[in-house]
Amino acid sequence: MAETYSSKQLLHLVFGGELAELGAVEFRDLSKLDIVGIYPNYATAYNAWKAKAQQTVDNAQTRYFIVHLHRLLDPDAAPPKPR
């Protein structure tokens, strides 16, 4: 039987790699992207992101990102944008 959780699952993807140039989000080599993982909430994803970012602090070209997958999977559930 599947386990149930009291809080809603909000999936987040953590990934990164070496950028082609600073100030842009274009990767030098897509085959070398580091897919860290998919996490059930922002706090867990943030901890994974922070650990990877700290490992690569000496390389200014390397960046890690958190993507809110839950917003892509269910865009109608996203909070309305302020006007």
- Split at pLDDT 50, 70, 90, the class of 1 is very low
Architecture of domain 16-77 in CATH? 2-Layer Sandwich (3.30)
- According to the model, what pLDDT value does residue 4 have? 46
User: 7-11: long-range contacts at Cβ-Cβ below 8 A with a sequence spacing of 24 or more?
Assistant: 7/41, 9/40, 9/41, 9/70, 10/40, 10/41, 10/42, 10/68, 10/70, 11/38, 11/39, 11/40, 11/69, 11/70, 11/73
Q: What is the residue extent of each domain of the chain? A: 16-77
> What is the tens place of the pLDDT at every residue in 18-64?
999 888 888 999 999 999 999 999 999 999 999 999 998 888 889 99
pTM of the complete model beyond 0.85: no
- According to the model, what pLDDT value does residue 5 have? 44
